[in-house]
Amino acid sequence: MSQVKHGGYGRELSSTVPIVDFSANINPLGVPETLISSIKKSLPNLIYYPDVEYKNLRKDLGDLYNYDPEKIWVGNGSVDLIFNIIEILESKHALLLAPTFGEYEHAFSKSGAEVLHYYLQEENDFNLDMNKFIDYLNNHHEIDTICLCNPNNPSGTLVSKFAIDHLAHYCQDRGIWLIVDEAFNEFIAKKSDYTFVDKIDEDDNVVIIKSLTKYFAIPGLRLGMALLPNKQFLNTLVDYCEPWSVNTFAAELGPEVFNDNEYAKATANWLSAEKSYLESELSNISQIKMYPSAVNYYLLKCDSVDLYKELLNKGILIRNCDNYLGLENGYYRIAVKSHEENQQLVRQLQDLFRS
């Protein structure tokens, strides 16, 4: 099997030894009670097929994002949509950042497109310099599709709405498709300052992909959505996609889940406190470089030891980033977990570099 390697294999490993999984960027608050209640209400409906058009779900998502539901489509997680959208775009020359989420490379390669890479620089903390990026595009006229994860994974870096707007207009003028992946946008402290949803109507070449899988801690349920530039694009996508890709439990989620303010507040409070804790503690370990991050995970660099193996021996699983293009050996990603789990990680790292 030649699938992209991801985090989140703690459960398989913990079948033999106890494992604390820092490799998957899942909200440690767990599934909200409103979502559990929704699933319970949906149980009697398992004997029926879901609505093949997901009309109620799309309407509620339209209300959530203040966007026309006739231009929203849903999938079995964002990856489902990524592959289907890339297939119908029929790109010849796609541009990806490096490092970034690996399924885009997989999807474009599967579709037959040539994949070019724009390498983010370590000395700039893997932030995208939009002026240099535009200069690169000016020298590569063959590019017809660009993918931009915002926040980026695994770096946790952000591109401003102003910069994306500039890029979107550049792409519009040159007939380039722009895919903006906002899978982790829900975790940003000021997410409205960075989401491009309120600007998408200004361009007919932008697709926004979003996900609620990580935020609501439902990787086993999965729900992704695509905000599309027009109804013609949606009709083409719907014709291409397999029917009933979203199950009943996900299809019947509604406003009581999407507008769960208590869960949102608890998530924001947890993330703010735990990011401060981890940044404070890990900054005191000179052998580890911790890159700035806007979201619920951090990119680390450690050259002195194999951090993945050392921590795994201590019952902690982190993400080894050696399969990310643009990151050589020595880069790792950690999720922000509960305070107790974060303390455990910090103690193990302190012990490791004290010895």
Give the residue from 7, 82, 28, 2 showing the smallest Cα distance to 341: 28
Q: Residues 69-126: pLDDT tens digits?
A: 999 999 999 999 999 999 999 999 999 999 999 999 999 999 999 999 999 999 999 9
Domains of the chain: 10-31+261-354 (3.90.1150.10), 33-258 (3.40.640.10)
3-state DSSP call for residue 276? helix
Q: Residues 322-345: pLDDT tens digits?
A: 999 999 889 999 999 999 999 999
Q: Is 247 exposed, middle or buried (0-12, 13-18, 19+ CB in 10 A)?
A: middle
Give the residue from 214, 142, 229, 223 showing the smallest Cα distance to 179: 229
Given pLDDT bands bounded at 50, 70 and 90, which one contains residue 56?
A: very high
- Looking only at the bridges linking them, the beta strands covering 224-227 and 289-290 are unpaired
Q: Residues 82-95: pLDDT tens digits?
A: 999 999 999 999 99
Given pLDDT bands bounded at 50, 70 and 90, which one contains residue 202?
A: confident
Q: pTM score, two decimals?
A: 0.93
Q: Residues 136-176: pLDDT tens digits?
A: 999 999 999 999 999 999 999 999 999 999 999 999 999 99
Given pLDDT bands bounded at 50, 70 and 90, which one contains residue 2?
A: very low
